[in-house]
Structure 1
Amino acid sequence: MNLPENFLTKMKNLLQDEYDDFVKSYQDEKSLALRVNSLKVPFDDFLQKSPFTIEKIPWVTEGYFYSENDRPGKHPFHDAGLYYIQEPSAMAVGELVDPKPGEKVLDLCAAPGGKTTHLASKMNQQGFLLSNEIHPARAKILSQNVERMGIKNAVVTNETPERLAERFPSFFDRILVDAPCSGEGMFRKDEEAREHWSLESVEHCHVRQLEILKHAAAMLKPEGRLVYSTCTFSPEENEGTISRFLEEHPNFEIEEVPTYKGFSEGRKEWVTNPADKIEKTIRLWPHLMKGEGHYIAVLKKKDVDVDPHLKLAQPKVDSNMLKHYKEFAKESLNFVPNGKYVTFNDQLYLLPDDSLSLHKLKVVRPGWHLGTFKKNRFEPSHALALSLKGNEVKNKWNLPLDSKEIISYLKGETLQATGDKGWYLVEVDGFSIGWGKLAGNCLKNHYPKGLRWMGNF
């Protein structure tokens, strides 16, 4: 593996006696891991049904290493949202954000969605999760992962931190800033990160990180938790960024949190004017644990309370559209979801509790997507299917994991079936994976065209 010479020189000066072990770690295979989605499957059930060779990750409740011979990304359970494939060190971040059900939580730099979906699983569909990504294409991928994991209480936006700070002053209980960085910690797995790295990019990232943190700080409630993370080794972007931020924001302090074997302390000797307790921040090293490089700082805001005069959402909904939806719900569901309905063009959503006004913000997903209105009828969304359980629908059609039918369904093919006509929740081994509509002994396939499997299996 060709590593940048300036990077190697820098790391040798920093690590000294540890340097040889550090460099040697790049000859090892990267660790592969997945995180079980507790919104869809209890851990014990997943362990019983898992077709993979898995090993528990010590620092994350839902995390497991898997074997390089496994292919979890091309498996029906992946399409059903039973797990998220995620780098094992990155899972430590969601554990330290540690959101509680009912809280207001912001993931400010959220794409592609690994950490957002981790936070959502801990919130258990309760509270308000705002997941933001400034790049439009990445925001779309983020929204797709929110959908696949069956998350109901998330809003996905495509905004700048500055615009969000204007709308959400002192609003969130917890904020995650997984900051854009030079990516040194990903060199083992990402050739592009190695090619684009430079000493100049490190300084550019440091400046950008401070700007993002400034806006995040304005959105956090007093006594709230702000978690800052990067996937780089660079002291300028880690201890340096945090020390400078705390110097400019004396109403924040570093919070000491439990760590695990293999976790290392922040290095105050690597920066000038280190913040108090900077050694209580966390470094993850590939030569000390099974994972890539990461840095995590947990901060607490010490302000007295304020009244920010926030504007709550006042959603508009087309009454005729809502009537068609409730007809569908009466015929196909065993419940009618309660909350604030909102229509965007021909799409129907349910806003999370405590959602503020989204007026004039770039919104990719304003909440739980329920479906689409087509010619005076309602068609349920894929997001609705993936968030439902079998006891919540009138009709379901379960396909065994080892059957030819589940592959046919994922390819978009029509299935032979008998029963009452209407919408059916299609399941794989009891887990929802999409919709079908039964008529004339045929289950018409409504698995989204963009997600259908191609080729032979």
Structure 2
Amino acid sequence: MPGRGRGQKRKGGDGDGGGRGGGRGGGDDRLLKRDFKKSRDDVWDPAKSRKPNGAGAYNTGFVKENANFEEYYKAQKIVPEEEWDAFIECLKTPLPTSFRINGSGKFAEDIRDQIENKLFAKVAGQAVPMDDGGKGGEDTAIEPPKAVRWYPDRLAWQFAYSRQQLRRLPFLESIHEFVKRANEYGSITRQEVVSMIPAFFLNIKPDHVVLDMCAAPGSKTFQLLEMLHGSLDNQTDIPTGFVIANDVDMKRCNLLTHQTKRANSPGLLVTNHEAQNFPAIKSRGGREFPFDSILTDVPCSGDGTMRKAPDIWPRWTVGNGNGLHPLQLKIGMRAAQLLKMGGRLVYSTCTFNPIEDEAVVAAMLKQAKGSLKLLDMSGELPLLRRVPGVKTWEVWDKFGKHDTFDGPEEKNKLHATMFCDAESAALPLERCMRVLPHQDDTGGFFIAVMEKVADMPADLEPPKKLRGPITVRTDLTVVDDSVKVTFTLCNLFELREERAALAANGGKAPGPEAELLLDSMRGGGRRGNQDGGGGSGGGGRGGGG
């Protein structure tokens, strides 16, 4: 039977659904990394650039200007007026390459000392030709890689060498090769500096059950796993907690698995589900497992990533953020429902837009009716430069600015929750934090940290019903006293609860499988999100079985 999505079911699946172009719900059995190796050449073809004039993401010749962008964000007052020029100029420069050293303790310190004293020391004071296209500019002294100032123990680094410099200069080639190979081996993880921030605010303990709702491509998930293991007194012990990494897109789940398997952790489960409808977790005995910590790095318009994706400049409109606001709010509220009492929820985006940031947080606090408390994190990571959240903002669409919401028939895809009313202005939204690119030579980012202090209101809309359990298998084996993890992705899974297996076995490695039962709520099949938007949270896809 065809599913709700468009397109026909491909061969190889037993599901009854067909999503766009082949059905996410069981119609396509190509789930492993090897299945995608021949899908396309891993090279950039200028002739296939997404823009007719060749203005692709890495074309340095295209104009990085957008008058609407500047007018909108000047009106929002997210940047101090005296810093506006520095903010805009920084957005027009390439984003530095950054990475963090995986793990903790002596092993991580040894890696740090090796790269700092042997690899990076060779670069200091070297003369580098300017990237001026061979026009004869003067050589400049290169800056060596620098440690991220706020990251503990100097375990995160960044450098700002262009691709041309990395290819042309032999003494930089060694750094380039190190980053590539160490990332493959799992010694380091390439990750944007701002992307490293949210995990520090979750306060993860070794017995925590953690949910990463929109996890792909997996760098934050890897960091969560590190914290789960790193908080143990004995680094060889296995934590009794675990991380569930979820993403709506099956192929992105494959990428997520490839990224996180380098951690060799038995405490990871990967699920494929819509974040806004993520089911409650129950043990075989029916006991619910609320989450101790939840990260909701929601899909967003992404204008904080302009430095690495400059093709956003000509495509940016106010409608990008307006269209994602409802989905972001649904994901945030579902996370609040799944959180345990006293648990922490981090809401984050890579956009500057208050409609996707403070407006969503304000709507969450109002709908929670006192169940959520916005925490003041200004004392955490004191070396991290940030600005407080704004307490008022403006709502725009393609027709201009709107002061009030008078009803959907009078507005173009606007929602009442976007508007800043007196109740919103009274909330302590200054406890939110926004990282601006020019402050520490990074991308843009927004973070809000909330704690659940009471039960959620009973009248909140429940998530859409599921047809059956949605799970993921992790096969665990012990080789030479080391736990090895093999991941298998499928649409309907059979897993035993890993936490119980660990506890029953005295914290030692469990048997060949770890199983988690997700709540089997009956009703209609999974449906594609209708709120628009892409990324890892959802986005108009047809639902399968």
- Give the TM-score taking structure 1 as reference length: 0.67
Residues 164 and 283 (structure 1), Cα distance of their counterparts in 2 relative to 1, 3 Å cut:
same
In 2, Cα distance between equivalents of 1:214 and 1:348: 28
Per-residue CA deviation, residues 137-165 of structure 1 (Å, 9 max, x unaligned), is 11110111011233321101110124423
How many matched pairs? 344
Instruction: Report whether the alignment pairs 1:64 with 2:157.
Output: yes
For residues 86 and 473 of structure 2, what CA distance do their matches in structure 1 show? 60
Is residue 211 from structure 1 mapped to residue 304 from structure 2 by the alignment? no
Match of 2:445 among 294, 308, 332: 294
Aligned to 1:279: 430
Q: 1:353 aligns to what?
A: 499
| Equivalent residue runs for 1:223-262 within 5 Å | 223-250=342-369, 251-257=371-377, 258-261=380-383, 262=385
| 1:4 lines up with 2:66 in the alignment | yes
Aligned structure 1 segments of 4 or more residues deviating by more than 6 angstroms: 312-317, 341-345, 347-351
Deviates more, 1:213-222 or 1:53-62: 53-62
Indicate whether 1:89 and 2:89 are aligned. no
Q: What RMSD in Å do the two structures reach over aligned CA positions?
A: 3.7
2-structure distance, mates of 1:157, 1:49? 37
Percent of aligned pairs with the same amino acid? 26
Structure 2 vs 1, CA of residues 247 and 48 (structure 1 numbering), >3 Å: closer, same or farther? same
Check whether the contact 1:117–1:149 (CA below 8 A) recurs between aligned residues.
yes
Q: Which 5+ residue runs of structure 1 have no aligned equivalent?
A: 307-311, 362-457
| Aligned CA distance change for structure 1 residues 275 and 75 (closer, same or farther; 3 Å) | same
Equivalent runs, 1:114-129 vs 2, <5 Å: 114-124=219-229, 126=239, 127-129=241-243
* Structure having the larger proportion of residues in strand: 1
Asked if 2 retains the 8 angstrom alpha-carbon contact of 1:285 and 1:292, the reply is: yes
* Partner-residue secondary structure (3-state), 1:270: coil
1:243, 1:275 within 8 Å by CA — same for their partners in 2?
no
Partner deviation per Cα, 1:280-303 (whole Å, 9 max, x = no partner): 111100122221100000000012
Checking the alignment, whether the CA contact within 8 Å between 2:194 and 2:445 is kept in structure 1 is yes
Matched, 1:186 2:309: no
Letter in 1 for 2:498: P
Task: Give deviations 1:198-235, integer Å, cap 9, x for gaps.
Answer: 21121111111001111111110011000000000001
Following TM superposition, by how much is the alpha carbon of 1:33 offset from its aligned partner in structure 2, in angstroms? 1.1
Q: Secondary structure at the match of 1:142?
A: helix
Match of 1:98 in 2: 203
Matched position secondary structure for 2:392: helix
- Structure 1, residues 314-351: CA drift from partner, whole Å, max 9, x if none? 9999xxxx9xx98xx6xxx3338699x99999x99996
TM-score computed with the length of structure 2 as normaliser? 0.56
Query: What corresponds to 2:254 in structure 1?
Result: 140
Alignment deviations for residues 94-118 of structure 1 (CA, whole Å, 9 cap, x no partner): 1112312121000000110111111
Aligned residue for 2:207, secondary structure, equals: coil
1:42 alignment partner, SS class: helix
1:171/1:221 contact within 8 Å kept: yes
CA distance in 2, matches of 1:234, 1:184: 8
What is the match of residue 181 of structure 2?
Answer: 76
Contact 1:281 1:298 in 2 (8 A): yes
- Cα distance between partner residues in 1 of 2:308 and 2:472: 44
**2:96 counterpart SS class:** coil
Contact 2:372–2:450, Cα closer than 8 Å, also in 1 = yes
Match of 1:270?
A: 393
Shift in CA distance, 10/73, structure 1 to aligned 2, threshold 3 Å: farther
The match for 1:303 among 435, 454, 472 is: 454
Measure the CA separation in 1 of the matches of 2:489 and 2:217. 26
Change beyond 3 A, Cα 1:337–1:82: closer
Gap change, CA 1:316 and 1:75, over 3 Å in 2: closer
Distance 1:260 1:343, change over 3 A: closer
Q: Which amino acid aligns with 1:114?
A: S
Inter-CA distance 74–305: structure 2 relative to 1 (3 Å threshold): closer
Residue 357 of structure 1 aligns to which amino acid in structure 2?
Answer: L
Distance 1:55 1:95 in 2: 21
Q: 5+ unaligned residues in a row in structure 2: which ranges? A: 1-62, 121-143, 162-171, 230-237, 283-287, 395-419, 458-468, 501-514, 522-545
In structure 2, the residue matched to 1:201 is 320
Tell me how far apart the structure 1 counterparts of residues 355 and 445 of structure 2 sit (CA, whole Å): 14
> Residues 250-282 of structure 1, C-alpha deviation per residue, up to 9 Å, x if partnerless?
210101122434211111133622352210111
Distance in 2 (CA, whole Å) between partners of 1:316 and 1:142 is: 14
Contact kept, 8 Å, 1:106 with 1:176, in 2: the verdict is yes
Residue 117 (structure 2) pairs with residue 24 (structure 1): no
What one-letter code is carried by the residue in structure 2 that aligns with 1:97?
A: L
Match of 1:370 in 2: none
Contact 2:64 2:310 in 1 (8 A): no
**Structure 1 residues 55 and 256 mapped into 2: Cα distance closer, same or farther (>3 Å)?**
same
CA contact (8 A) 1:34 1:66 kept: no
1: CA distance between counterparts of 2:94 and 2:268?
Answer: 35
Q: What do residues 338-376 of structure 1 show as CA deviations (whole Å, max 9, x unaligned)?
A: 99x99999x999963256314879xxxxxxxxxxxxxxx
Q: Give the partner amino acid of 1:45.
A: D
Cα 1:18–1:167 change in 2 (3 A) is same
Q: 2-side partners of 1:158 and 1:109: how far apart?
A: 10
Q: Which amino acid aligns with 1:108?
A: M
